[in-house]
Chains A and B, each alone.
Chain A
Amino acid sequence: GAVVSQHPSWVICKSGTSVKIECRSLDFQATTMFWYRQFPKQSLMLMATSNEGSKATYEQGVEKDKFLINHASLTLSTLTVTSAHPEDSSFYICSARDFPYEQYFGPGTRLTVT
């Protein structure tokens, strides 16, 4: 299957700082990438759909000013958690869509805000 990388795999930051997470499709071009968040013992919850060259589409309840998404190329999408707070601590994972419906995931990023 196709490979999606995600960096960093874990990050610890102080409250009030910003953190950027990168998601790359290594062997295919992805016009659409997705960002998910997982709380303990819950399913993967879609935060936003990232489309190359256009603005991301955010799910209801997700603050677009806090979670900035940029899909600058067909192989790279970034999620920036701005002014992070402890409640933003979570597991974030990205995926890339390979037409028409296959979807491949990165390994995820564990964010801890102190």
Chain B
Amino acid sequence: ILNVEQSPQSLHVQEGDSTNFTCSFPSSNFYALHWYRWETAKSPEALFVMTLNGDEKKKGRISATLNTKEGYSYLYIKGSQPEDSATYLCAFMANTGTASKLTFGTGTRLQVTL
């Protein structure tokens, strides 16, 4: 059973604060690491797919880094806004062929208040 962990479980910040979350995953047999943003009653939105050790990706105020050797990824949000409130999920994809499955963490629930 693959173990994907996210921390913290929840986070409450004020508008304008910068924040970051952690996703830890197995350091062996790595293929890809996915980050999703999931707002209530909506589809999880794909943020990043990261495949190379040392990868850094950015989308607006959100960025992510990847360390496959030690098995962790960080997601950063700069200058949080209320619309960033959501659950952020990471998912590990092992190198098992074309039907590789995603193993999800339990998510970090972010609430941004004014």
Interface residues of chain A, those whose CB is within 8 Å of chain B, are: 1, 4, 6, 32, 34, 41-44, 46, 49, 51, 57, 93, 95, 99-108
Contact = CB atoms under 8 A, between A and B. Distances in A.
Contact of B32 (A49, A51, A101): A101
B21 to A, nearest CB: 15
B101 interface: yes
A103 B99 contact: no
A101 B106 contact: no
Contacts of A108: 43
A103 B102 contact: yes
Most buried by B among A32, A51, A99, A105: A105
A44 B46 contact: no
A101 B49 contact: yes
B42 A107 contact: yes
A32 B93 CA distance: 15
Contacts, number: 52
B47 to A, nearest CB: 10
Contact of A46 (B42, B46, B101): B101
Nearest to B106: A43
Contact of B31 (A4, A101, A103): A101
A107 B99 contact: no
Contacts of B44: 93, 105
Contacts of A95: 102
Most buried by B among A44, A46, A51: A44
A42 to B, nearest CB: 6
A105 B43 contact: yes
A26 B93 CA distance: 24
